[in-house]
Amino acid sequence: DGGITQSPKYLFRKEGQNVTLSCEQNLNHDAMYWYRQDPGQGLRLIYYSQIVNDFQKGDIAEGYSVSREKKESFPLTVTSAQKNPTAFYLCASSERDLSYNEQFFGPGTRLTVL
Amino acid sequence: AQTVTQSQPEMSVQEAETVTLSCTYDTSESDYYLFWYKQPPSRQMILVIRQEAYKQQNATENRFSVNFQKAAKSFSLKISDSQLGDAAMYFCAYRSYDISSGSARQLTFGSGTQLTVLP
């Protein structure tokens, strides 16, 4: 089955630690995205990548970093510089980064800072 | 910047009845795309329906249809014959593109409406 996988489903982090959230897709999509979801709010864009070895910041990139070394993978690192990292993180992909294209989402990772 | 407003944090509907979820947006652009996404309890977002601003005809997908009022900047979602599986958080989203470069702008989401379906 084609789709997007995110791991782990739940992640706990101590303050001051960096953690990396995994996102893999086998849809052969060029574009990939990371969103953050907080209660009572819509999704907010952290980073996106239109093609391998290229990525751009979204609205809330501070305290996060990404890489796109392979087409199918777009890992997100939450660094200690992110002041309020507890949230639900969603990864998405689309065939190309065009405004009419559907974005397909993964099942998400719930990150909790202890 | 574009904003998307969903003024109904929660809605409920009786099974087999019809419900309409509201969405308004603010933009000065003439061409853009509007989306409704569904987030069930599994939390995996799924596209429900999509509408291009230049198309006069309202989009429909089986029991889901939209009422797109471009002048009023309104994009409501109607769910007919509601089913228990329709219970979810529904997000309205807007996306446009830069006319000069053709580059897509980011997808902007509303805050969501939690729909409960009563048996």
- The answer to whether residue B8 scores a pLDDT higher than 70 is yes
The model's confidence at residue A40, banded by pLDDT at 50, 70 and 90, is confident
Closest residue in B to A98 (Cα–Cα): B104
- Closest residue to B97, CB basis, from A33, A41, A99: A99
- The answer to whether residue B113 scores a pLDDT higher than 80 is yes
Residue keyed to tokens 């993180």 = A89
Q: Which comes out higher in pLDDT, residue A90 or A114? A: A90
Q: Is A108–B104 a contact, with Cβ atoms under 8 angstroms apart?
A: no
Q: Average pLDDT of B43-58?
A: 93
User: pLDDT by residue (tens digit) across A53-111?
Assistant: 999 999 999 999 999 999 999 999 999 888 899 999 999 999 988 888 899 999 999 99
- The answer to whether residue B102 scores a pLDDT higher than 80 is no
Q: Average pLDDT of B25-38?
A: 93
Q: Is B44–A41 a contact, with Cβ atoms under 8 angstroms apart?
A: no
Residue B86 dihedral angles phi and psi, to the nearest 5°: -80, -10
Contacts of B96 in chain A (CB under 8 A): 99
- The answer to whether residue A2 scores a pLDDT higher than 80 is no
- The answer to whether residue B27 scores a pLDDT higher than 80 is yes
- The answer to whether residue A1 scores a pLDDT higher than 80 is no
Alpha-carbon dihedral angle through residues A6, A36, B50, B19, given to the nearest 10 degrees: 110
pLDDT at B96: 87
Query: What is the rounded distance in angstroms from the CA atom of residue A46 to the CA atom of residue A90?
Result: 10
Q: Taking a C-beta distance cutoff of 8 angstroms, is the pair B33, B25 a contact?
A: no
Q: Report the mean per-residue pLDDT for chain B.
A: 94
**What share of chain B has pLDDT > 90, as a percent?**
83
Contacts of B106 in chain A (CB under 8 A): 45, 48, 58-59
Residue A15: both structure tokens together: 């303050």
Query: What is the rounded distance in angstroms from the CA atom of residue B108 to the CA atom of residue B105?
Result: 9
Which amino acid, one-letter code, is at B76? Answer: S
Please, which residues have CB within 8 angstroms of residue A66's CB and are 6 or more apart in sequence?
A34, A46, A47, A49, A55, A74, A75, A76, A77
